[in-house]
C-alpha cells in the first residue's frame, strides 16, 4: 500500500508540471495587461512603461517563466497590486469557503445519490425505480447555476425561509452558516446526485445478479444485511470512481455557484480578478484549484486500494 | 495470395457489391433499433424541436430579440408577452428563441472541432508509439483543471466572444474525447482483421480509416452526444459569468444573468431560458443513453 502511494504521488509530478506550465501560458496569451489598470485611465505612456518595468512584465517570456517557476517552488505565487497583498494569502483565505461548499455538496450528492440508486436497484423495474431514474436524468440535465437561481426565487424571495445570498463564517455562527450554505450546497449537488444515482443503480444490479448474493440470501441472511454488507461493498469501486470524478466537477462547479449565491470563495476571487484583469490572482487561483483536484484524485485512487485489493497488487 | 485476388476481377466486383449491400443492411438494422429505442426516440424528437426553433427563429419570434420597449418594462408573462419582459422591456420569449440559436451553433461547432481534434490526437497517440506518452501527458495536464475552470480561464484570456467560447470549450473537451478514441483504437488495433489487412498490403491510411476508425467510431459518437450536452450548459455558464458572447447578444446564459439581477422582482427572466437549456440537454442525454444501450449491449438489460 505504501509503495502504491509513493508511485501514485510520483506520477502526479509530471501532471503538476504541465498544469503549472499551462497556467503560465494561458496568462501569456492575454492581450493587454494590468499596468493600464494600475496606472488609471489618464496614465502617460512613460508611466505605463514604468509600471511594466516594476512588475517585470516587459521582460522576455523565458525570463518571466524562469522567475515564475523559481518563486513557485518557494511557495510564492506573486503579488497582487490591485488587492495589495500576496496571492497566496488571498487564495488561502478564500479556500475554506470553496472547500466546505464542495465537501458539503459531495456529502449531499453521495448520500442521496447512492440511496436513490440502491432503492432503484433493489426495486428493479418497479414504479420506484422508474421515478428515481427519471429524477436522476432530470437532475443531471438541468444547469446547476440556473437551478440555484430558481431555489433562491423559491426559498429566498417567495417563501423568505433562507437568505438569498451572502456568507456567515462557521466560527461566528453555526446556524447562520448552515442557513447560508444549505441552498448553494444542494444546488451544486443536484447534477452529481443524478450521476451517482445512475452509477450506483447499474453497479448494484451487476452485483445483485451474482451467485454469492443468492447464496447469502439462501443462508437466510436478512435483506438489509445482504444489500449493505455483501452487495454494496462490492459495488463500491465504480461508485467511488464516479464520486472521484464528481469531486472535480463540484470543485469547478463551486466557482459558478459562489457567483450565484455571492459566497466569498476562490471561484468568486478568480471571476472578480478576471474582470479586473488581475492576472497573478487568476494564475494563483487556477493553480491552487488544479492542485487540490490532483490531490483529490490521489485520495480517490487510495480509496480504490482500500475497497479493491486487486488494484494495489496490480501496480 | 494477392495474385489470386487479382485474377478474380468479376467475382471481386460482385463480392464488393454484396459487401456494400450487407453494410447497408446492417446500417438499416441499426437505424431500426434506434427508432425502436424509446428514450433515444424521445431524445431525438426533443433535439429536432430545439433545432427547429433555432433554425426558424426569425419566423417564430414575435418580437426582435434586442428591441427595447420602455412602455413594457418587467412585465410578467401575459398573452402579449408569453415569457414576460426584462428591464429594457425586451420580450423574453423572443430572446429565448434566438438564444437557442446561439446554443445550437456553439454546441454543434464544439462537437465538430472536438470530434476532429480528439480523433486526430487519439489516433496519433495510439498509432505512433513515441508520441503516445507526450500527447497523453499533455492531455492529463489539461484534464487536471477541473470541469469548466479551464474554459473560464481561456475565455477570459481571449476576451468575450462566441469564437472564444468555442475555442475554450474545444480545448476543455478534447482531452477526454481523445482518450475515448485512443482506447477504442487500441482495442481494434489488436484485432485479427487489422492484421489481415496489413498482411494483404493495405497502407497505413487505408488501415486507419477503413478498418480502425470505422470500428472505433461508436464510443466516439456516444462521447460526442455528451460533449454536445455539456457544451450547451458550459456556454450558458460562460455567458452567465460574463466571458461569453457580450451582453446584448441573446445567449441563454446572458438572459439568465439578466434574471439574476432582477431576482427580487421578475422571476420569469431567469426561469424560462434555463428551462430551454434543460430541455435541450435532457434530449441529448436521452439520445446518448439510447446510443450507448444499442452500441454497448452489455448494459442493455439494465434498463
Is the ipTM of this structure higher than 0.85?
Answer: no
How far A158 CA sits from the closest chain B CA (Å)?
9
Query: Whole-model pTM?
Result: 0.82
**Amino acid A56: pLDDT:** 64
pLDDT tens, position by position, for chain B (303 residues)? 444 444 445 555 677 788 888 888 888 887 887 777 788 888 888 889 988 887 887 777 677 777 777 776 766 777 676 777 776 778 777 888 888 888 889 999 999 999 999 988 888 888 777 888 788 878 877 777 776 778 888 887 777 788 888 888 898 888 888 888 888 887 777 777 777 877 887 777 777 777 777 777 778 888 888 889 889 988 888 888 888 787 777 888 888 888 788 877 777 778 888 888 988 899 888 888 888 877 765 554 444
What pLDDT was estimated at residue A315? 42
Taking the CA of residue B42 and the nearest CA in chain A, the distance in Å comes to 13
Nearest CB to A255 within list B149, B159, B259: B149
Per DSSP, A282 falls in state H
Which positions in chain A touch B260 (Cβ < 8 Å)?
Answer: 149, 260
How does DSSP classify residue A152?
Answer: I
Per DSSP, what are the bridge partners of residue A145?
Answer: none
Is B278 close to A143, i.e. CB distance below 8 A?
yes
Chain A CB contacts of B156 under 8 Å are 274, 282
- Cα of A46 to nearest chain B Cα, Å: 25
3-state secondary structure labels for all residues of chain B: CHHHHHCCHHHHHHHHHHHHHHHHHHHHHHHHHHHHCHHHHHHHHHHHHHHHHHHCHHHHCCCCCCCCCCCCCCCCCCCCCCCCECCCCCEHHHHHHHHHHHHHHHHHHHHHHHHHHHHHHHHHHHHCHHHHHHHHHHHHHHHCCCCCHHHHHHHHHHCCCHHHHHHHHHHHHHHHHHHHHHHHHHHHHCCHHHHHHHHCCCCHHHHHHHHHHHHHHHHHHHHHHHHHHHHHHHHHHHHHCCCCCCCCCCCHHHHHHHHHHCCCCCHHHHHHHHHHHHHHHHHHHHHHHHHHHHHCHHHHHHC
pLDDT, residue B114, reads: 92
pLDDT 10s digits, A98-139: 888 888 999 898 889 888 888 888 888 788 888 888 888 888
**Please, where are the H alpha helices in chain A?**
2-29, 35-39, 45-55, 61-73, 87-122, 127-141, 144-151, 174-208, 211-218, 223-225, 232-261, 266-276, 279-307, 309-314
pLDDT given at position B253 = 83
Cell 466560527: give the residue: A171
Identify the closest residue of chain A to B278 by CA–CA distance: A142
CB contact under 8 A, B141 and A149: no
Q: What domains can you pick out in chain B, each with its CATH number?
A: 37-299 (1.10.3720.10)
Contact B145 A145 (CB under 8 A): no
Chains A, B: CB pairs < 8 Å: 140
**Parts of chain A with a pLDDT under 50:** 314-315
Identify which of B100, B296, B227, B230 has the alpha carbon closest to the alpha carbon of residue A140: B230
Distance from CA of A21 to the nearest CA of B (A): 9
Question: Which residue does chain A place closest to B256, by CA atoms?
Answer: A146
* Residues of A with Cβ-Cβ distance to B278 under 8 angstroms: 138, 141-143, 146
pLDDT at B300: 46
Q: What is the pLDDT of residue A57?
A: 64
Give the closest of A15, A31, A143 to B277, CB-based. A143
Q: Using CA atoms, how far apart are residues B125 and B199, in angstroms rounded to an integer?
A: 23
What does the angle CA A126 – CA A131 – CA A133 come to, to the nearest 5 degrees? 100
For residue B142, the model assigns a pLDDT of 78
Q: What is the pLDDT of residues A195-238, one digit of tens each?
A: 888 888 888 888 777 777 778 777 877 777 777 777 777 777 77
Q: Would you state the cell numbers that stand for residue B122, as one nine-digit string?
A: 487519439
Cβ-Cβ contacts under 8 Å, A260 against chain B: 260
Domain boundaries, chain A: 35-76, 90-312
B267: nearest CA partner in chain A: A153
A171-193 burial, b at 16+ Cβ within 10 Å, e below that, comes to eeeeeebeebbbbbbbbbbbbbb
Residue A180, helix vs strand vs coil: helix
Of the candidates A191, A113, A205, A137, the one whose C-alpha atom is nearest the C-alpha of residue B287 is: A137
- Domain A90-312 CATH superfamily: MetI-like (1.10.3720.10)
| Chain B residues within 8 A of A146 when measuring between CB atoms | 236, 256, 270, 273-274, 277-278
Rounded to a whole number of angstroms, the distance from the CA of A109 to the nearest CA of chain B is 17
Amino acid at each position: 500500500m505504501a509503495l502504491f502511494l509513493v508511485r501514485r504521488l510520483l506520477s502526479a509530478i509530471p501532471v503538476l508540471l504541465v498544469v503549472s506550465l499551462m497556467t503560465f501560458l494561458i496568462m501569456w496569451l492575454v492581450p493587454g495587461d494590468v499596468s493600464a489598470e494600475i496606472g488609471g485611465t489618464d496614465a502617460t505612456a512613460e508611466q505605463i512603461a514604468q509600471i511594466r518595468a516594476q512588475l517585470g512584465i516587459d521582460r522576455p517570456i523565458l525570463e518571466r517563466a524562469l522567475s515564475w517557476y523559481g518563486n513557485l517552488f518557494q511557495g510564492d505565487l506573486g503579488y497582487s497590486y490591485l488587492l495589495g497583498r500576496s496571492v497566496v494569502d488571498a487564495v488561502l483565505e478564500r479556500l475554506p469557503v470553496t472547500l466546505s461548499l464542495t465537501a458539503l455538496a459531495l456529502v449531499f450528492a453521495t448520500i442521496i445519490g447512492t440511496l436513490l440508486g440502491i432503492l432503484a436497484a433493489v426495486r428493479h423495474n418497479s414504479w420506484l425505480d422508474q421515478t428515481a431514474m427519471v429524477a436522476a436524468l432530470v437532475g443531471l440535465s438541468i444547469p446547476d447555476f440556473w437551478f440555484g437561481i430558481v431555489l433562491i426565487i423559491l426559498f429566498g424571495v417567495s417563501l423568505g425561509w433562507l437568505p438569498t445570498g451572502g456568507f456567515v463564517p462557521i466560527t461566528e455562527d453555526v446556524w447562520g452558516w448552515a442557513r447560508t450554505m444549505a441552498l448553494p450546497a444542494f444546488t451544486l449537488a443536484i447534477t452529481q446526485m443524478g450521476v451517482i444515482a445512475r452509477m450506483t443503480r447499474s453497479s448494484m444490479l451487476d452485483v445483485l445478479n451474482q451467485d454469492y448474493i443468492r447464496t447469502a440470501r439462501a443462508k437466510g441472511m436478512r435483506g438489509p444485511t445482504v444489500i449493505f454488507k455483501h452487495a454494496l461493498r462490492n459495488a463500491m469501486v465504480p461508485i467511488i470512481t464516479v464520486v472521484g470524478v464528481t469531486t472535480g466537477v463540484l470543485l469547478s462547479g463551486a466557482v459558478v455557484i459562489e457567483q450565484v449565491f455571492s459566497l466569498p470563495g476562490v471561484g468568486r476571487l478568480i471571476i472578480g480578478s478576471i474582470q479586473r484583469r488581475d492576472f497573478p490572482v487568476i494564475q494563483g487561483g487556477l493553480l491552487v484549484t488544479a492542485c487540490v483536484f490532483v490531490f483529490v484524485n490521489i485520495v480517490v485512487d487510495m480509496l480504490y486500494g482500500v475497497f479493491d485489493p486487486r488494484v494495489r497488487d496490480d501496480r | 495470395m494477392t495474385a489470386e485476388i487479382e485474377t478474380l476481377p468479376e467475382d471481386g466486383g460482385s463480392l464488393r457489391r454484396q459487401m456494400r449491400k450487407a453494410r447497408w443492411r446492417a446500417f438499416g438494422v441499426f437505424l431500426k433499433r434506434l427508432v425502436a429505442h424509446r428514450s433515444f426516440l424521445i431524445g431525438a424528437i426533443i433535439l429536432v424541436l430545439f433545432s427547429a426553433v433555432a433554425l426558424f427563429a426569425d419566423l417564430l419570434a414575435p418580437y426582435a430579440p434586442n428591441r427595447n420597449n420602455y412602455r413594457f418594462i418587467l412585465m410578467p408573462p401575459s398573452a402579449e408577452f408569453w415569457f414576460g419582459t426584462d428591464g429594457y422591456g425586451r420580450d423574453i420569449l423572443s430572446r429565448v428563441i434566438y438564444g437557442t440559436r446561439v446554443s445550437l451553433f456553439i454546441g454543434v461547432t464544439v462537437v465538430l472541432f472536438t470530434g476532429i481534434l480528439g480523433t486526430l490526437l487519439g489516433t496519433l497517440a495510439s498509432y505512433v508509439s513515441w508520441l503516445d506518452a507526450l500527447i497523453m501527458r499533455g492531455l492529463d495536464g489539461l484534464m487536471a483543471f477541473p470541469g469548466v475552470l479551464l474554459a473560464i480561464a481561456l475565455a477570459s484570456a481571449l476576451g468575450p466572444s462566441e469564437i472564444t467560447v468555442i475555442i475554450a470549450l474545444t480545448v476543455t473537451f478534447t482531452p477526454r474525447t481523445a482518450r475515448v478514441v485512443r482506447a477504442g483504437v487500441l482495442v481494434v488495433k489488436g484485432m485479427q482483421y487489422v492484421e489481415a489487412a496489413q498482411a494483404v498490403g493495405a497502407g497505413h491510411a487505408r488501415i486507419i480509416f477503413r478498418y480502425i476508425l470505422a470500428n472505433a467510431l461508436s464510443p466516439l459518437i456516444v462521447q460526442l452526444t455528451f460533449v454536445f450536452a455539456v457544451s450547451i450548459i458550459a456556454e450558458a455558464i460562460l455567458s452567465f459569468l460574463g466571458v461569453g458572447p457580450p451582453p446584448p447578444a441573446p445567449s441563454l446564459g446572458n438572459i439568465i444573468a439578466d434574471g439574476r439581477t432582477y431576482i427580487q422582482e421578475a422571476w420569469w427572466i431567469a426561469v424560462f431560458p434555463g428551462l430551454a437549456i434543460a430541455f435541450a440537454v435532457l434530449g441529448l442525454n436521452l439520445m446518448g443513453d439510447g446510443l450507448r444501450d444499442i452500441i454497448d449491449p452489455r448494459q442493455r438489460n439494465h434498463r
